[in-house]
Chain A
Amino acid sequence: MKTKRPRSPAGAAPPVAAPPRGASGNKKIRLRLYVAGATTRSRNAVVRIRNLCENELAGRCDLKVIDIYQQPELARLNQIVATPTLIKEMPRPVRRYIGNLADIIDLLSGLDLDLEAKVAA
């Protein structure tokens, strides 16, 4: 089923992440966060993923936050059911994370990034 998964259209939303820097620029981590409006849950998730990108994964993140109220067709295209949903599109394998991203450690292991994160740290 993974091959069937539709790709997120590039450039659908402006990148929020910090600009790439350093040697690990070619190992971009592409993250897409889908939220539904400006609820507390959404804001929590946005803040947490931004912190992650700016600190632990500084310089390696390509993060976009997408409000499905604004772009409902993207919800269908990317099989969004629960919000907030974080999709790690790159590197493979694709990973999904649902919830307000309360637990960053869980999040890192879930994203299979902990090792890389430690290396980067």
Chain B
Amino acid sequence: MKKKSPTPAFKAQRLPKCPTGIQGLDEITGGGLPRQRPTLVCGSAGCGKTLLAAEFLVRGAMQFDEPGVFMAFEETESELKANVASLGFDLDTLIDRKKILLDYVHIEQGDTQESGDYDLEGLFVRLGHAIDSIGAKRVVLDTLEVLFASLPNEAILRSELRRLFRWLKEKGVTAVITAERGREQLTRHGLEEYVSDCVILLDHRINDQIATRHLRVVKYRGAMHGTNEFPFLIGDEGISVLPITSLSLNHKVSAERIATGIPRLDAMLGGRGFFRGSSILLTGTPGTGKTIIAANFAQAAALRGERVLFFSFEESPDQIIRNMHSIGLRLDPLVKRGLLRFHSARPSLYGLEMHLATMFKEIAAFKPHVVVVDPITSLMSSGTDSEGKGMVTRLIDYLKAGLVTSLFTSLTQGGHALQQSEAAMSSLMDSWILLQDYEGNGERNRVLYVLKARGMAHSNQIREFLISNHGIDLVDAYIGPGGVLTGSARAAQHSLEKAAVLASQQEAAQLKREVERKHGALEYKISGLRSDYETEAAELRRIAEQVGTRTFVLGTERDASGILRQADVKASAFAPAKPIHTKIKV
């Protein structure tokens, strides 16, 4: 075996990385583990070290065409195969195709004795032989610390381990070394002092009786990496780390609008409903009709021929179908046609990240157009606030990336604090509809309003929300001096207004009659006046005639007197004297 001093890897370019293929881990580490260097994965018992290492190897062989050697110190080959098979990996095929080589290293403690000086060249030879026989690029050593128990001479072991890590680098393999978590240091036997490039810490914590696994990149020399603790889970398809901070906001968006199933609600949302692919939050106190609106939305989508996935964390599918039937929503035919699928689970069934993984899996399998989560709050309560928010962020992100419209109902405790408590989640939502109870006049009534709707003109009005046998109806709420009027108060106000209208109508009719009467009276007066006038006019004519006659008579008399006085001969010649007598007689 050649013993070269390690060549310093000073290169101007960025550290080459070896993608693990493990969901989320490559995002955190910015592309994978440091290529051709050893990485230490440490954690306490049962936190998934071996599985992480195995998945690194299997994915390398399957996805990146990098064969790998698994050197197991704890588990036998058959045990390991069985364990990995639980993640859906078929090791046998990979071994047959010479993509993976398993080597179980076993040191029988009871029948081994030391005598004098030795080295671990046997291990080196085995590893070297394994690497060369399949052209391995990846190596897993799980767990080297077993050696500390089997080989009493720690001085030899330590110097040999140091040599091993150096040798691995020289071999140019990307190695994952697992180690048990120590009490005061990262690993029980201080293996971290040999591995200087990358250290990943796994952790399995129990919070409120729900266990959650976490992963943290403690150290990654020469590369940017997420330093946070990320929840991760071991599912049917391997490990998936759930990075929250690495999410980016670059979704495609759709301008298409989809109806809510409640025409009046569509009208409040600019007349056309929600945007496709948007996220909708529906908050309300208990019994305000969140599930009903959600079911309406689901039904409307399914009737359009879209696939709807309904996650229910409070009711069983049958219960929802029955309850919705009572208000005239028939969901069961949609379920039968395969357009609507329910997924019910108790929130406390398992941890938050497991729920998330299950949801992802369901979504990936069903490929829905619309996803309803009812309610998101009970799900969030199974983790801490930040975990819950992280989960919702990730879920929304996942759905938006696939242009899936999502509706989340959220149960609040009433009062105005609800808006604050939801503030964290609401910032992730595109539309927010609030359902509220209005108490007064000895009754409770439901009201609904649109708190926000990104990218659309929306109504600012409060609508009363009625649930009947025929479904949902939204009616205008009355705004009176005492606030919003709902229920019977609204009805009373309604009849009051009706009466007022009637009264004013009657008043107008009366006024009309009055005017008509006045008009009649005036007409009558006018006709009286006219007859007066005509009488007077007749009188006037009579007088005028009398005046004319008198004038004539006077003239005649003057002529007559003139004749008598012999004043004018000529005049008398023109005026005969005879007719004068006749005229006077008239």
Interface, chain A (partner B; CB < 8 A)? 1-2, 5, 34, 36-37, 41, 44, 68-69, 72-73, 75-76, 79-85, 93-103, 106-107, 110
A99 engages B120 (CB within 8 Å): no
- In the bound complex, residues from chain A placing their C-beta under 8 Å from that of B107 are 79, 81
B120 engages A102 (CB within 8 Å): no
A80 engages B112 (CB within 8 Å): no
Q: How far is the CB of A42 from chain B (nearest CB, A)?
A: 9
B115 engages A72 (CB within 8 Å): no
A72 engages B129 (CB within 8 Å): yes
B113 engages A81 (CB within 8 Å): no
A110 engages B115 (CB within 8 Å): yes
A84 engages B118 (CB within 8 Å): yes
- In the bound complex, residues from chain B placing their C-beta under 8 Å from that of A2 are 108, 111
Assuming A68-B121, A72-B128, A99-B117, is B111 touching A79 (CB within 8 A)? Answer: no
B1 CB within 8 Å of chain A: yes
B115 engages A97 (CB within 8 Å): yes
Residue contacts A-B, CB under 8 angstroms, 13 given: A68-B121, A68-B122, A75-B122, A80-B125, A81-B123, A81-B151, A82-B119, A85-B122, A96-B113, A97-B112, A97-B114, A99-B115, A99-B116
**Chain B residue nearest to A98 in the complex (CB):** B118
A98 engages B113 (CB within 8 Å): yes
A82 engages B151 (CB within 8 Å): yes
In the docked arrangement, what's the CA distance between A99 and B111, Å? Answer: 14
List which B20-41 residues lie within 8 A (CB) of chain A.
none
**Chain B residue nearest to A40 in the complex (CB):** B117
B103 CB within 8 Å of chain A: yes
In the docked arrangement, what's the CA distance between A98 and B150, Å? Answer: 11
**Residue from B1, B106, B119 whose CB has the most chain A CB atoms within 10 Å:** B119
B126 CB within 8 Å of chain A: yes
**Chain A residue nearest to B128 in the complex (CB):** A72
In the docked arrangement, what's the CA distance between A83 and B111, Å? Answer: 16
Q: How far is the CB of B96 from chain A (nearest CB, A)?
A: 18
In the docked arrangement, what's the CA distance between A10 and B475, Å? Answer: 94
B399 CB within 8 Å of chain A: no
Assuming A1-B108, A81-B107, is B116 touching A36 (CB within 8 A)? Answer: no
**Residue from B1, B111, B112, B129 whose CB has the most chain A CB atoms within 10 Å:** B111
**Chain A residue nearest to B73 in the complex (CB):** A81
A83 engages B126 (CB within 8 Å): no
B211 CB within 8 Å of chain A: no
B129 engages A83 (CB within 8 Å): no
- In the bound complex, residues from chain A placing their C-beta under 8 Å from that of B119 are 36, 41, 82-83
Partner of A83, one of B108, B115, B121: B121
A101 engages B115 (CB within 8 Å): yes
In the docked arrangement, what's the CA distance between A107 and B123, Å? Answer: 23
Partner of A106, one of B106, B115, B129: B115
A98 engages B112 (CB within 8 Å): yes
**Chain A residue nearest to B124 in the complex (CB):** A36
Tell me the count of chain B residues lying within 8 A, CB to CB, of chain A.
Answer: 28
- In the bound complex, residues from chain B placing their C-beta under 8 Å from that of A102 are 115-117
B105 CB within 8 Å of chain A: yes
B125 engages A79 (CB within 8 Å): no
- In the bound complex, residues from chain A placing their C-beta under 8 Å from that of B121 are 36-37, 68, 82-83
B129 engages A76 (CB within 8 Å): yes
In the docked arrangement, what's the CA distance between A84 and B125, Å? Answer: 12
Q: How far is the CB of B265 from chain A (nearest CB, A)?
A: 70
A96 engages B115 (CB within 8 Å): no
A80 engages B122 (CB within 8 Å): yes
- In the bound complex, residues from chain A placing their C-beta under 8 Å from that of B115 are 97-103, 106-107, 110
A82 engages B106 (CB within 8 Å): no
List which B75-127 residues lie within 8 A (CB) of chain A.
103, 105-108, 111-126
**Chain B residue nearest to A101 in the complex (CB):** B115
B130 CB within 8 Å of chain A: yes
Q: How far is the CB of B95 from chain A (nearest CB, A)?
A: 14
Mask of B138-173 contacts with A, CB within 8 angstroms, 1/0: 000000000100110000000000000000000000
B111 engages A94 (CB within 8 Å): yes
- In the bound complex, residues from chain A placing their C-beta under 8 Å from that of B112 are 96-98
Assuming A97-B115, A100-B118, is B105 touching A81 (CB within 8 A)? Answer: yes
B108 engages A72 (CB within 8 Å): no
- In the bound complex, residues from chain B placing their C-beta under 8 Å from that of A68 are 121-122, 125
**Chain B residue nearest to A86 in the complex (CB):** B115
**Chain B residue nearest to A35 in the complex (CB):** B121
**Residue from A41, A76, A94, A98 whose CB has the most chain B CB atoms within 10 Å:** A98
- In the bound complex, residues from chain A placing their C-beta under 8 Å from that of B106 are 1, 79
B126 engages A72 (CB within 8 Å): yes
List which B220-253 residues lie within 8 A (CB) of chain A.
none
- In the bound complex, residues from chain B placing their C-beta under 8 Å from that of A107 are 115
B111 engages A96 (CB within 8 Å): yes
Partner of A76, one of B1, B130, B151: B130
**Minimum-distance CB pairs A-B, first 4:** A102-B116, A72-B129, A36-B121, A80-B122
**Chain A residue nearest to B147 in the complex (CB):** A81
In the docked arrangement, what's the CA distance between A95 and B110, Å? Answer: 9
- In the bound complex, residues from chain A placing their C-beta under 8 Å from that of B128 are 72
- In the bound complex, residues from chain A placing their C-beta under 8 Å from that of B103 are 76
In the docked arrangement, what's the CA distance between A2 and B112, Å? Answer: 12
Q: How far is the CB of B539 from chain A (nearest CB, A)?
A: 152
In the docked arrangement, what's the CA distance between A95 and B112, Å? Answer: 6
In the docked arrangement, what's the CA distance between A93 and B108, Å? Answer: 12
- In the bound complex, residues from chain B placing their C-beta under 8 Å from that of A83 are 118-122, 125
In the docked arrangement, what's the CA distance between A91 and B105, Å? Answer: 24
Q: How far is the CB of A64 from chain B (nearest CB, A)?
A: 16
**Chain A residue nearest to B106 in the complex (CB):** A79
